[in-house]
Structure 1
Amino acid sequence: MKMAFQILRPIGPVLLLDDVSDGMLHLAALFIVPKGITPPAIHLPGGQVAPQAIAEYGTATVWRARFDLPAHAGASYHWNGTDYPVAGDMAGDLRLAYVSCNGEEIGDMDREGSERNAMWARLRTEHRDRPFALLLHGGDQVYADEVTHGHTLSRDWPDEVPDDPAPEALADLRAHLRDRFLERYAALYAAPEPAWVMARVPSLMQWDDHDICDGWGSLRASRTHSQVGQAVFAAARQAFLLFQHGCTDNDLPRRFADPQGSHLGWRLHLPDLSIIAPDLRSERSRRNIMGQGGWDMMQAEADRDAPGHRMLMSSVPLLGPRMSLLEAVMVAIPRMQKYEDDLRDQWQSRAHRREWRRMLRLVRDMIRKKGQSVTALSGEIHLATRAVMDLGPDGQLHQLVASGIAHRAPPRGWARFLGALSFLGEDPLPENPIRIRALPGQAHRYTAERNYLTLDRRDGRWSAEWELEDSGRTPPLAL
């Protein structure tokens, strides 16, 4: 099968953060290189590190170099004639960027680059002015919905799947999917605007459904448990580890909670800051958002004494309007039932109410510990918004939603509808009401513009700002 996307030159470096410990950033630089070419070594003040091949494709090889930099200002690495400064100081004032939804479901690879990556260009300019220490990716880093096209076994996925495909056909499907995922990631990392940023700012990534396929885990078991469905998931998982974390199954970075990879949740503990990213896809079913492994990780984090601020990445919004009401209406209308999977993806779905309450109680327990606060970061909805859960004398849980950096915004009418729905309120924990709030400076609760989020710690105090495509910068929101 011939790939539509030809890798003609080395792609990278894509800088990924493995861990932080003992005053050092443990990093990985990823390269996608045409077959037969070896990328140059990375040069550091104390020597050089040669990349190692970690995956082979028919026309390309994926290489990775793991290396360390001191976690302080002025750190840098040198590769192929270019110096790459890294804002490595994690102890004092700190800047983070949060992005999500980097693509679209249909025709994403055919979009004109400067239009598609306009918000990445703004993020690049902002980093030049005031560098970011970390880049958090909140899900849907790629839109893989079309990787199933072009193969007889998966061309009608997920509407129809063959009952008993031949082993040879399944092997051919796996090869097809593997190449299509390479094609998607290579196109993403070759684009000049995100490539510039991602070579200089260490990335931390959490996946969501489009990194696999639309609605993964909320589709019916007859689809996800089929041989075709399992081939789709296996190819997506391999690509997620390889291209979003620079690793393979046998060498997950230390920040992953389960070294065996039964779930792909991770956590990072920095001075006065923890970043927690549960895996809301690997163990998901129509009835459960997380399995035992994911809940064990979250319970361990709730039990941990970690003074300072915690950023909880929830790829789907943890606080939201009364989606269960909309879900009930859609299920009752036959022509609307095709949207059931989209609503079942949400914490607010009727199917997930027990788990939703469990997660909110865990987060509440974190905040109630002396000297700790939590902010939830989410994407997924292609809108910008925020929410607050009132914890009485214990304070508030802030949720910040930034989505998407490349996905074009839905109609403003949809944003207004969600805003109207949010007036009904939603109190899964009756003593802790949830309210959707407008962004600072915005009149409506949901903003239908492409966007990304910045998080600043100055003198120990955190604030957040959204960069909106049309409206520009929001005033800072104190956290």
Structure 2
Amino acid sequence: MSIGSTPAGSGPRPDRGLVLGPMLRHVDDASASIWVETAAACTVEVRCGADAWQAETFAAHGHHYALIEVSGLEAGSVRPYTVHLDGHLAWPVQDGFPDSMISTLDPAKEPRLAFGSCRTSVSHDESGNRTHGIDAMRAYALAMAAPGHGRWPDLALFLGDQVYADSTSGQMQEFIRRRRNIKEAPGAELKDFEEYAHLYRLAWSDPANRWLLSTLPSAMIFDDHDIRDDWNSSLGWKQKMQQTGWWHERIVSGLGSYWIYQHLGNLSPDQRAADPLWQRIVTHTGPGELDLTADLDEFAERVDAVPESYSWSYCRDWDAVRLIVVDSRAARKLEPERRALLDPAELAWLDERMRGGFRHLLIGTSLPFLLPMGLHHVESWDEAIASGSRRRLGAWLGERLRRRFDLEHWAAFQRSFQEVARIATEVADGKRGSAPQTVTFLSGDVHFSYVSEVEREGGSRILQAVCSPIRNPLPRFLRYFAAALAFGPAVPFGAWIARRAHVPNPPFGWSLIKGPWFDNNLAILEDTGDGLALSWLTGVARDGDPANPGLDTVAVASLGTRRDDMHREDPSGPR
């Protein structure tokens, strides 16, 4: 068969023993973490030549998982690996892709990473591409697998909406119908852990994407669709969900499955060792496989009820680059008088890590910190009227506009926006250690891509780079609406209504320097030593073969150490 010709969700046969994975997760200069889901309880072994590392599976809701910590590796080494279940070879499979590799970090090389967000799981044939476009992640995987691709990224950072629990594909709905009456709540949305497990299998089992995830280290953070649209947008939204008969099981299943499928691999071995659930796994002495179900559900209930009890954020340092990935969904305070995107514990965590002394400080947040100015003003205005205690009509209107148009980014949490803007400015001004070349926010969510920059006279450049979607494009008529709202007449109008609502002025101004564009794409960021180089890549159909797309460049941005290193341009309009 040709590389990549298998439909989404087909994956390996159950009798092979490996349901999902292997997925290469946290990698540093001496260790690597490899995650798998297996069909049954077993001993999982990763082998690199004569070296081998083992872990026993643990169970949750009838599924079996393992995370193998590979240690003692050499910095800058590249080694193929195999996966064995109870001594039998389970990976690689004969699917036409190269061997899976563990590439440890090389301190002598400048870091390179891929990032993006918003990826739906539908077929990769002509029908799926017609409705959702070509999967940019899969197109990149096919390019990586081809000879002569060049240097691979050190990390793929997925900034939210890896799965869509509230907007399911035909394949997912077929699975739901086999289990329950899809006409009863929550309908075609996910209900429980079993459905989450199947959705992750649909998302990650296509051969091309599966190979990419086995070879390219990945880090992730959730956004709303991993749980439900507008998750934690307001107290009214949360109360409405809690009044349903299905929300409790949904949030417990969503957070519990997120911990297993996404969060566990985000952590370094030391960070994992401090996690109470992981301690429960590694201290288990038998007999038999540990069933983590009760502990996992209790954990998910607790962190939903008391978000301050657990942090989903994490931080990684390369030699000259720091990446902070911050949770902007679960750590919210929704009471009108205390409304904040980050609760006090999360803000303190971020504050402690926002430091100079690096060449680049990167902050990964699923929601753009610097929205296009027009949209920023509209969201800040909406928060002001929705929180108005004396004008019930305004509060009613503000809440409905918030939910209808997703007005719940950083701009709609002004307390948090102002505080983080202050911290970022202090870093850029050299008040928190030597000033970096850039303070750069990396984000997704909005279904268009762009680069913006804070208008400053000196100090570090403060930038916002967005890559969205990987595979979930806006309909063309909505692209023009989004562009008008973000960049057109909404800018002066938004500023006027924000002033009328007595919204505090932003602590600085910013402007667009690249974009917007609306393609499915995956962004590549590289530290060149003299600045950041970014490119956005998209899949394109070639030779009448929708399952084997090529890769084209949508846009490039060279962000040097001086502001005149990059030509400013007018918005290019919807593409």
Normalised to the residue count of structure 1, the TM-score between the two structures is 0.80
**Structure-1 separation of matches of 2:368 and 2:422:** 16
Please say if 1:86 is aligned against 2:102: yes
Mapping of residues 124-273 of structure 1, within 5 Å? 124-128=141-145, 129-130=149-150, 131-146=152-167, 155-156=184-185, 176-219=191-234, 220-226=237-243, 228-246=246-264, 254-255=270-271, 259=275, 262-273=310-321
Mapping of residues 62-81 of structure 1, within 5 Å? 62-68=65-71, 69-79=73-83, 80=89
Q: Deviations over 1:52-102 (max 9, x none)?
A: 2133444x4223222134331424433346442233234213321002101
Please say if 1:12 is aligned against 2:32: no
> Which of 22, 25, 30 is residue 24 of structure 1 equivalent to?
30
Match of 1:299 in 2: 351
> Which of 504, 518, 521 is residue 448 of structure 1 equivalent to?
518
Q: Could you say if the C-alpha distance between residues 110 and 298 of structure 1 is closer, same or farther in structure 2, counting changes exceeding 3 Å?
A: same
Q: Is the 8 A contact 2:77 2:103 kept in 1?
A: yes
Mapping of residues 31-70 of structure 1, within 5 Å? 31-35=36-40, 38=42, 41-45=45-49, 47-58=51-62, 60-68=63-71, 69-70=73-74
Q: Is the 8 A contact 1:415 1:448 kept in 2?
A: no
Mapping of residues 312-391 of structure 1, within 5 Å? 312-320=363-371, 321-323=373-375, 325-327=377-379, 338-341=400-403, 342-349=405-412, 352-369=413-430, 370-372=434-436, 373-391=438-456
Q: Deviations over 1:312-367 (max 9, x none)?
A: 00110000123365455898799996552253421112xx1121111111111222
**Structure-1 separation of matches of 2:275 and 2:25:** 18
Q: Could you say if the C-alpha distance between residues 337 and 14 of structure 1 is closer, same or farther in structure 2, counting changes exceeding 3 Å?
A: same
Q: Deviations over 1:374-421 (max 9, x none)?
A: 111000011111111123211321111000111123423134312215
What is the identity, as a one-letter code, of the residue corresponding to 1:145?
Answer: D
**Structure-1 separation of matches of 2:268 and 2:82:** 25
SS of equivalent residue, structure 2 residue 230: coil
Please say if 1:457 is aligned against 2:475: no
SS of equivalent residue, structure 1 residue 196: helix
Q: Structure 2 unaligned segments of length 5 or more: list them.
A: 1-8, 84-88, 93-98, 277-308, 387-393, 496-502, 541-551, 561-575
SS of equivalent residue, structure 2 residue 426: helix
**Structure-2 separation of matches of 1:253 and 1:215:** 33
**Structure-2 separation of matches of 1:237 and 1:333:** 31
What is the identity, as a one-letter code, of the residue corresponding to 2:111?
Answer: L
**Structure-2 separation of matches of 1:98 and 1:188:** 17
**Structure-2 separation of matches of 1:73 and 1:458:** 21
Q: Structure 1 unaligned segments of length 5 or more: list them.
A: 159-172, 440-445
**More displaced stretch, 402-411 vs 364-373:** 364-373
More helix as a share of residues: 2
Normalised to the residue count of structure 2, the TM-score between the two structures is 0.68
Q: Is the 8 A contact 2:451 2:465 kept in 1?
A: yes
What is the Cα deviation at residue 255 of structure 1? 4.6
Computing the radius of gyration over CA atoms, which structure comes out larger, 1 or 2? Answer: 2
**Structure-2 separation of matches of 1:253 and 1:422:** 47
Once superposed, what is the RMSD of the aligned Cα atoms?
3.6
Match of 1:283 in 2: 331
Q: Is the 8 A contact 2:455 2:510 kept in 1?
A: yes
**Structure-1 separation of matches of 2:161 and 2:358:** 31
**Structure-1 separation of matches of 2:257 and 2:341:** 22
Q: Could you say if the C-alpha distance between residues 48 and 87 of structure 1 is closer, same or farther in structure 2, counting changes exceeding 3 Å?
A: closer
**Structure-1 separation of matches of 2:113 and 2:324:** 14
Match of 2:566 in 1: none
Match of 1:475 in 2: 556
Q: Is the 8 A contact 2:424 2:439 kept in 1?
A: yes
Q: Is the 8 A contact 1:31 1:62 kept in 2?
A: yes
**More displaced stretch, 114-123 vs 125-134:** 114-123
What is the identity, as a one-letter code, of the residue corresponding to 1:467?
Answer: L
SS of equivalent residue, structure 2 residue 470: coil
**Structure-1 separation of matches of 2:263 and 2:44:** 21
Aligned residues: 440
